[in-house]
Amino acid sequence: MKGIVFNLLEEFITSMLGEEKYEEIVAGCDLKTKEPFVGPGTYPDEDLFAIVGKTVAVSGIALPDALRGFGRFCFPRLAEKFPVFVTAHNHPKPFLKSVETVIHVEVKKLYPDAVLPSFTYDNPAPDRLIMRYSSKRRLCHLMEGLIDGVAEYYKTPIRRRQTKCLLEGGNECEFELSFG
Amino acid sequence: MKEEILEKKLERERQKVNILEKMIEDRTRELYIVNEYLQNINNSMADTLIVVNPDGTIRSANRAALNMLGYTEDELRGKDIETLFEKGVGTGPSGFGRQDSAARSETTCVTKAGRNIPVILSRSTMKDLDGAVLGVVCLALDISERKKTEEKLRKAYDEIKATQDASLSIMEDMEIQRKKLEATVREKDALMSQVERANKELQDFAYIVSHDLKAPLRAIGTISSWIAEDYKDKLDDAGREQLFVLLQRTKRMHDMIEGILQYSRVGRIKGTPETIDTGKVAEQVREALSSPANMQIKIHAPMPAIFIDPVQINQIIQNLISNAIKYMDKPEGLVEVGCRDAGEFWEFYVKDNGPGIEEKHFERIFQIFQTLKARDEFESTGIGLTIVKKIIEQSGGRVWVESEVGNGSTFKFTIPKGTTPPTSLPPL
Ligand code: HEM
């Protein structure tokens, strides 16, 4: 996972539990990475999961909620860092459709060693979107949070209903999204 | 506690800055190496590479391109690419739209010095991942050498073609000539067989007529001699004289008919050729002709053996020698017979020291019934040489005379050395 995600996570935990708690969590993780995380760096996924796991343990927040919260926390910050992706659209639907074909493609150019998820789409109605996610990391809760972040950013409510899940033995996570 | 954490955070940020600086340096070096690598490829390329901006101005050119065009990179940068190539590159908004992938064309590029170089121009549009046009990459391949070779090849081909055309027309001419010749040969063959038929008819006619004439002539001769015998007392001198002339003329007539018969026999009757010693034949002739005492006949050895009808060679030699004896006017007559090797032929001669023959008669003496002296003055049918000529010519040879009036004559004739002379057809 790229350093940018680790830094966002640090920001997220600090904002939630304070700097002291964050230092405590990191100190108790026995991370493989000894040096500080920097945005362009690439670090083991285990380190990320260790920090998340420790945070959940320390705070008592459920893991899905923690990931959702993290996703929702991330999105406006990603949007701020890469404004072209979000300003190109004025509605969440076309924006979400551009994640697979444009955004993550550009991310890959910036960070060639990034390991990005893959998405497929279906377009059942103008105000609806079916978005399927697959990744070894199985971070569908993070995705939910990101979608919530998108809804907030575009000030357009998105109702989401998960019909398939990687965590429940599915080969992908399927979300039926309806806008407005 | 708080200060401690702050201290820790600060230290971490410092470390981050160091890491990032190093990352930037590494990345910069990497970029430099990649750029150098690309630059190297660009400049080591034998082909010319020109990169054009979307607006048609030149963005960069490799070393090969600069060498070919004679510009420096600074001079070239920003120049309109369309001015470099005769047929244009097809950049500009419409050009990009139409040919979005790759295209190749043959054109000419104009160097700074104004020289024209034939090139194959490949152009391909350079796009980013979203399909936005970044420019055009042009590759110009100098084909002057190839053009020269093509020109040489074309010339060589033209030459070959011309030669081929010429030989074709020669062959056509030859074919026409051949056809003409064939036609001529056919005509000649037709003519020959006509002549042969006519000859044959003539020979047969001559034979039949002569044969039929002989019987009544013999009767005239017999009756005349009876009259001369039985009525010699009743006839006066003039009558007896006339009867003598009649008998003489009858004999001459008989001899002439005999001559015609002999002559026609030469063509009609074909003996079997054998290898004959011509020296021996001459000896036999000398003995057979009881020549007067003042006549000497010399035979000069060596005389060759030839393949011929024995009767015919005998006829030739006998005729020529007896003619020499017959016309001899010198008290010491000399006849010489001999032969020399004349390549494909044997050339025989019969030489005498007799009266000689005027040149104007050289041809005439070989014609039938031609004698040079009046018959009453000199008894001769004049058919002997005609027969000689006929035999020799049928054998593929030639006969002629060389003479000086008063100094004698030399009759010469040739016989081909070939073992099988043309006359030697098997007897029917
Ligand atoms: C400005 C918009 C976005 C940017 C710049 C961005 C960039 C990134 C980056 C850098 C990563 C880390 C990959 C790695 O380190 O290997 C990532 C991961 C991820 N992104 Fe995005 N992203 C954007 C929007 C979204 C949106 C809208 C969604 C979903 C609705 C999404 C879903 C995910 C997920 C689920 C992952 C986790 C990796 C995984 O599941 O394997 N992203 N993204």
3-state secondary structure of B305: strand
The architecture of the domain spanning B2-147 is 2-Layer Sandwich (3.30)
Question: In the 3-class helix/strand/coil scheme, how is A72-108 assigned residue by residue?
Answer: HHHHHHHHHHCHHHHHCCCCHHHHHHHHHHHHHHHHH
pLDDT at residue B381, rounded to an integer: 64
Residue B367 to residue B383: CA distance in whole angstroms: 8
pLDDT > 80? residue B91 = no
Q: Is the CB of A49 under 6 A from ligand 1?
A: no
Give CATH 1.10.287 domain extents, chain B: 176-269
Domains in chain A: boundaries: 3-61, 92-179
Measure the CA angle with vertex B381, ends B346 and B392; round to 5°. 15
Ligand 1 atom with least separation from CA of A115: 16
Supply the CATH classification number for the domain A92-179. Answer: 3.90.1520.10
CA A46 to chain centre: 16
Direct distance between the N- and C-terminal alpha carbons of chain B, in angstroms, rounded to an integer: 154
- In the reported structure, the alpha carbon of residue B134 is separated from the centroid of ligand 1 by a whole-number distance in angstroms of 28
Nearest to B271 by CA among B228, B314, B300, B231: B314
Supply the CATH classification number for the domain B271-419. Answer: 3.30.565.10
Residue B401 to residue B323: CA distance in whole angstroms: 13
pLDDT at residue B265, rounded to an integer: 73
pLDDT at residue A138, rounded to an integer: 95
Q: Is the CB of A150 under 6 A from ligand 1?
A: yes
Tell which CATH classification among 2.20.28, 2.60.40, 1.10.287, 1.20.1260 matches the domain B176-269. 1.10.287
- In the reported structure, the alpha carbon of residue A30 is separated from the centroid of ligand 1 by a whole-number distance in angstroms of 26
pLDDT in tens, chain A (180 residues): 999 999 999 999 999 999 889 999 999 998 999 999 999 999 999 999 999 999 999 999 999 999 999 999 999 999 999 999 999 999 999 999 999 999 999 999 889 899 999 999 999 999 999 999 999 999 999 999 999 999 999 999 999 999 999 999 889 999 999 998
Answer whether A105 sits within 8 Å of B15, measured CB to CB: no
ipTM comes to: 0.76
Q: Could you read off the pLDDT of B289-335 as tens digits, one per residue?
A: 877 888 899 999 899 999 888 888 998 999 999 889 988 989 999 99
Q: Could you read off the pLDDT of B102-114 as tens digits, one per residue?
A: 677 888 888 888 8
Let me know if B33 is exposed, middle or buried by CB neighbors in 10 A (0-12, 13-18, 19+). exposed
**Token representation of residue B243:** 């009867």
Average pLDDT for chain B: 83
Ligand 1 atom with least separation from CA of A79: 1
Question: Is it true that the peptide bond before B310 is cis, omega within 30 degrees of 0?
Answer: no
Direct distance between the N- and C-terminal alpha carbons of chain A, in angstroms, rounded to an integer: 33
Nearest CA in chain A to B14: A36
Give CATH 3.30.565.10 domain extents, chain B: 271-419
